[in-house]
Structure 1
């Protein structure tokens, strides 16, 4: 049985560079396309309705994934409010698998944002985070070299979690 992989993207713009980067990362880590892609830019106002069944379903599916790549552009030195609205739906045991924090930004000034802002909230909602967060410059989002060093380290750290049955 292979790991169930989800990608969650908090960019307000649907089909964004952030989505492209997160999907690339998921494929590179697992060798397959993600099983679930949650592009929050397409969910929109439903995130404000706590009774919305589709958002509830997405939260449940993400929570059950073995690996979740959680990605956001850097806005005001942190992740987007759109992503915050989605992550607020999870209980403190809401994500049962491994999470990978990924953020894109315009310059190197916010390179620690995945570690300082996204990692803590993912940890708070139950995710295991065995790798450091990844920050990629927007201009390099489609350059495999921008991910190469991080992937070399992350694959080794994630291997025990992604092997058959290791996450459950």
Structure 2
């Protein structure tokens, strides 16, 4: 099982990255019989190249994400939506460029007032790119970062019924080649 984690926080090694990796950990635990290979893409490391065309490194990263089985996409909440950094990376895909990839939207923020941003803003973008988004996303208020593992585990339990079959279906399709 190939898991890609893409984080659109302009700050390298951010708390948003920690949240995204915790979600990826939960997904691995939900599918214990599937050995996982994980690629983490912290877009802060590539920000100076996002608007260069062509850009071979970013093309390789886009290809790797499109070839993944599971994609965890994370962003801090900026102006009630995701960052321009994440949008610039995802804009490099054509329509249906993430066809068949099972995606999980994740957002972080300072308060619950933007908790719907995950579902209202990030989910539709992933669907537009052809990704399958079978479960609710995770929104974490950063004042609760100390509870991250418990919150991620609770999210996994609440969404396992839709996430597991979607990932298993993707893996079956991928194994047929």
* TM-score, shorter chain, exceeding 0.5: yes
Are residues 85 and 72 of structure 1, via their aligned partners in 2, closer, same or farther at CA, if it must alter by over 3 Å?
Answer: same
* Corresponding residue for residue 13 of structure 1: 11
* Corresponding residue for residue 69 of structure 1: 72
Q: 5+ unaligned residues in a row in structure 2: which ranges? A: 30-34
Q: Which runs of 4+ in 1 moved over 6 A?
A: none
The one of 126, 130, 141 aligned to 2:145: 141
Structure 1 vs Structure 2 CA RMSD: 1.6
Are residues 4 and 78 of structure 1, via their aligned partners in 2, closer, same or farther at CA, if it must alter by over 3 Å?
Answer: same
Name the SS of the counterpart of 2:172 in structure 1. Answer: coil
Greater mean deviation of Cα atoms: 8-17 or 24-33? 24-33
Give me the whole-angstrom Cα distance separating, in 1, the residues matched to 2:22 and 2:74: 11
> Is 2:119 the partner of 1:115?
yes
Q: 5+ unaligned residues in a row in structure 1: which ranges? A: none
* Corresponding residue for residue 157 of structure 2: 152
The one of 92, 95, 105 aligned to 1:92: 95
Q: CA deviation at 1:148?
A: 3.4
Greater mean deviation of Cα atoms: 91-100 or 109-118? 91-100
Give me the whole-angstrom Cα distance separating, in 1, the residues matched to 2:83 and 2:158: 27
Contact 1:10 1:83 in 2 (8 A): yes
Q: CA deviation at 1:118?
A: 0.3
